[in-house]
Structure 1
Amino acid sequence: MSKVILFNKPFDVLSQFTDRGTEGSPRRTLSDFISVPNVYAAGRLDRDSEGLLLLTGDGKLQHRIADPTNKMSKCYWAQVEGVPSDEALEQLRSGVKLKDGMTRPAKAARMEPPATLWPRTPPIRFRKNVPDSWIKITLTEGRNRQVRRMTAAIGHPTLRLIRYRIGAWTIDGINNGDWVEIEV
């Protein structure tokens, strides 16, 4: 049995335990939230993204979760500028050409705004003349800032990004900034 920590990472928190950034501007890290020794993030989540981050001390499990060759699916909720058309969503489903090549096909659909969404600090910028909407995107690869680059490529920049699920694990019932430990 291995222990896994399911952490609902807040916005503006680094997915590491220490900050090697510039001196004088301390950034929040995992150590501000998690005091369990000998666990490490299985993968990462950008500082400006929120939601599920898995941590474990089991190196084999960590590799199985994080290695893109294992194709463990990850589901994201993206609040985007505008309302993507069916054609735009089909582009996501077919794969999008990015500077580093074509993405694998993704599952993509419009969704209602999440019912149990915490406020983000600072809040996203709203533009009076540009509507926003939510889409659900499921990927089986993990390129750097991939969801943001994909939504921008179809003309709908991401305003807020929340990772909802990794494999069978979700953030259901975990408040933002909180974590739970499970055995697997």
Structure 2
Amino acid sequence: MSEQQKAKSHRKIVLFNKPYMVLCQFSDAEKRQTLKDYIAIPQVYAAGRLDRDSEGLLILTNDGKLQHELAHPDNKVSKTYWVQVEGTPNDKALRAIEQGLELKDGLTKPAKVNIMPAPDVWERDPPIRERKHIPTTWLSITLKEGKNRQVRRMTAHIGHPTLRLIRYRVGSWTIDGINNGEFVVI
């Protein structure tokens, strides 16, 4: 068996449905919730990040090459987010996201965006803040880049702040069938 075949046979890929307010690291000096509170698999590391206040798919692996492939922006691995925003974006606002927005750190690459029905997902604790007279809308946004807090900054830029953000897909992997706070090893 070649070294490459041995490495692949020992490769671990963990698909984790990260809960709200969990850090994408295994330790924290401030004693906040981290991956160690959910995953007891040695020597796996997050391939990319998901903000503490975001939820959904996080991939962990012991394969450095795969980790780099998924996390490095040059590789353009697409990611789909389900985003609950305040208000209802009009066609002009959605087209602006699709064409790319000028943010403080530069122009975003074109993205795919659609209004979607509210997904059948877990309750968030605490729930989002809702305003009595302002509706919310769910968007599906697919990116091939990952600037810091990009989705939140994009929706704010078009006048519809993000209330809840769930990463649904990375590459060909999704959170389908994985309960929030749980993981599967593939």
TM-score bracket, shorter-length normalisation: over 0.9
Q: Which amino acid aligns with 1:20?
A: A
SS at the partner of 1:89? helix
Aligned counterparts, 1:36-75, within 5 A: 36-75=41-80
Structure 1 position 114 matched with structure 2 position 119 = yes
Q: Once the two structures are superposed, what CA deviation does each residue of 1:49-103 show, in whole Å capped at 9, x if it has no partner?
A: 0000000011111000100100000000000000111111000000011000110
CA deviation after TM superposition for structure 1 residue 129, in Å: 1.3
Structure 1 position 138 matched with structure 2 position 142 = yes
Please, which runs of 5 or more residues in structure 2 have no aligned partner?
1-7
Structure 1 position 126 matched with structure 2 position 135 = no
CA deviation after TM superposition for structure 1 residue 41, in Å: 0.2
Alpha-carbon separation, structure 2, partners of 1:105 and 1:19: 35
Report what 1:29 is aligned to: 34
Report what 1:20 is aligned to: 29
Report what 1:80 is aligned to: 85
Report what 1:164 is aligned to: 168
Q: Which amino acid aligns with 1:170?
A: T
Please, which runs of 5 or more residues in structure 1 have no aligned partner?
none
Alpha-carbon separation, structure 2, partners of 1:101 and 1:142: 12
Identity rate, percent: 65
Alpha-carbon separation, structure 2, partners of 1:27 and 1:122: 16
- What is the aligned length? 177
Q: Which amino acid aligns with 1:81?
A: E
Q: Once the two structures are superposed, what CA deviation does each residue of 1:149-172 show, in whole Å capped at 9, x if it has no partner?
A: 000000000000000000000000
Q: Which amino acid aligns with 1:19?
A: D
Task: Indicate which of 82, 95, 117 corresponds to 1:90.
Answer: 95
Q: Which amino acid aligns with 1:101?
A: G
SS at the partner of 1:172? coil
Q: Once the two structures are superposed, what CA deviation does each residue of 1:88-127 show, in whole Å capped at 9, x if it has no partner?
A: 1000000011000110000000000002x10000000000
Structure 1 position 155 matched with structure 2 position 159 = yes
SS at the partner of 1:28? coil
Q: Which amino acid aligns with 1:124?
A: I
* Alignment RMSD: 0.6
TM-score, structure 1 length as denominator? 0.95
Q: Which amino acid aligns with 1:38?
A: Q
TM-score, structure 2 length as denominator? 0.94
